[in-house]
A = this chain, B = another copy of it.
Amino acid sequence: MFFEGSEKKATIIVERDQLSLLTDIADEFWQQLVQCADAHILSSIENMHCKAFLLSESSLFVWHDRLLIITCGNTRLVRSVEYFIQQMGVDCIAQVSYQRKNEYFAHAQPSTFGDDIKLLARHVTGKAHRFGELDSHHNYIFHQQNDFQALESDKTYELLAYQIGEIASKKLTSSDLTAAEIRAFLQLEELFIDFVFDDFVFKPYGYSINAIKDKQYFTIHVTPQEHSSYVSIESNINLIALAPMFLKILAPKSFDLLSFNEFEFSDLASEYIPENYVATSLVQQHLSNNYFVCFANYILPQQHFMQAKALDSVEQSHAL
């Protein structure tokens, strides 16, 4: 079965003196916003800092001063961003950023990144960068150009794993798997002690989890389908330090690391990335909104020949 796991991601930071997204906005607004991207809310958890919504396609996190929304599949996330701008007005917005990674099946997407930022440019002035080579994994990041400056302490991380190993793929595609079994397989309860979890197992497979503890959050989305498997992890906890654990469990053939304001990226990568992976791409850029962005793609060098993948008619019609 074909499913595009690759995500689009948007962050909107508001002028904190004008409103709190966490206390001033009713859930109906978030329902509407999510619907604009053709997704819907499955469930939510909250604490005094954050409300985390699990979506039919990924996640929405709302804090007092910002929201983070991640959607996969064929969603049109940019429409949610446009909805927010239109409903709330640009004056209360301190910063909009919009990010999109290269998809497995780009031609099946309803829009390109170019289309999306043309739409955003009607509302906000900004600049786009590509992190990574065009013929390999890459991320496009658009950020609004204004006087907003991110705090250096505002650090977030992404770990994106591709082509997970046979053990992980087999486990995560086995039938009647429960959320508890997946949490155990990913060792989440051992690793993230005292976090509140909210997770969901999709049919026939696929898994999403949101987790919060005070100001810490993480979200994981699993698309375990063979040949186009993808696991994304986003957090404000240092995922470079956690990479060895996740890489051991998932055994991906390739993975990306992306960080915002992690100034020790290079040293951390040297310390934590297992030596059997090699970097095919290393990119860093200081954006005008004061985010220092690092991107790296790593691959597992191959020693042995595999057989080609014979394509069946389902793949031919959906995936190519």
Contact = CB atoms under 8 A, between A and B. Distances in A.
B134 A104 contact: yes
A283 B305 contact: yes
A306 B279 CA distance: 12
Interface string A113-151: 111011000000001111101111100110000000000
Contacts of A309: 129-131
A163 B279 CA distance: 16
A112 interface: yes
Interface in A253-291: 253-254, 266, 278-285
B319 A307 contact: no
A136 B256 CA distance: 13
A224 to B, nearest CB: 14
A209 interface: no
A107 to B, nearest CB: 5
B306 A282 contact: yes
A118 B305 contact: no
A319 B320 CA distance: 20
Counting from the closest, the 7 A-B pairs by CB-CB distance are A114-B320, A285-B308, A129-B308, A278-B301, A130-B309, A128-B311, A106-B106
Interface of A: 104, 106-107, 109, 112-115, 117-118, 127-131, 133-137, 140-141, 162-163, 227-228, 230, 253-254, 266, 278-285, 293-295, 299-311, 315-320
Given A114-B319, A278-B299, 7 more contacts: A106-B106, A107-B107, A131-B308, A133-B227, A135-B162, A140-B311, A282-B302
14 contacts: A113-B320, A114-B319, A118-B317, A129-B309, A134-B319, A140-B311, A254-B280, A280-B300, A282-B302, A282-B306, A283-B308, A284-B305, A294-B305, A299-B299
